[in-house]
Amino acid sequence: MPDLQSPSEKCEETTPGISRREMLLGIGAAATVAYTGTAFSAKQGHDHSKHTAQQPDLLNATNDCLDKGQRCIAHCLVSFQEGDVELADCASKVHEMQAVCGAFSYLLAANSEYVSAYANVCEKVCKDCEKECMKHKEHVECKACAEACVEVVEQIKLRLT
């Protein structure tokens, strides 16, 4: 004969003295204590200055460069699909820039201790990308990517040297 008890009835039988209501009240109380502790620590002078990027202009320039790079690569891929491989070197340099700037963006957002050291790599890759993209400045996407790379290099020099 099948067991016709619901899972909650079975639970109540195996854990006497604790009802579902009491369990939920306990969880709610624990959440309240956790929230109160967080609020209390914030009022006690918890330092939030490290919670936002310390180099917001450089971070914005890097993220803009990543965006322009995505558009440039997308343009290159369309050219490849049409049988034109003239932009292959451009796509390659932009691809490298995307990898490096993506990591650099993460380090900037996290206020990593490695930002200064990694900036040198980012600067070099952006210069190489800008040089290659400018060979194709008649393409709006390539020109925009090159200009975004120049801005990253300028922001690195301004903020980190």
Sequence spans of domains, the chain:
7-43, 52-160
Instruction: Name the nearest CA neighbour of 100 among 75, 73, 65, 68.
Output: 65
Joined together, the tokens standing for residue 76 give 């290159």
Q: Using an 8 Å Cβ cutoff, are 157 and 78 in contact? A: no
Instruction: Name the nearest CA neighbour of 150 among 114, 123, 132.
Output: 123
- Does residue 46 or residue 106 have the better pLDDT? 106
Identify the pLDDT of residue 30.
Answer: 73
Q: Using an 8 Å Cβ cutoff, are 50 and 111 in contact? A: yes
Q: Using an 8 Å Cβ cutoff, are 153 and 126 in contact? A: yes
Please tell me whether the overall predicted TM-score, pTM, comes out greater than 0.75 for this model: no
Q: Is the confidence at residue 29, as pLDDT, over 90?
A: no
What is the length of the chain? 161
Cα 129 to Cα 67: distance, rounded to the nearest angstrom: 14
Fold entry, domain 52-160: Substrate Binding Domain Of Dnak; Chain:A; Domain 2 (1.20.1270)
- Does residue 64 or residue 14 have the better pLDDT? 64
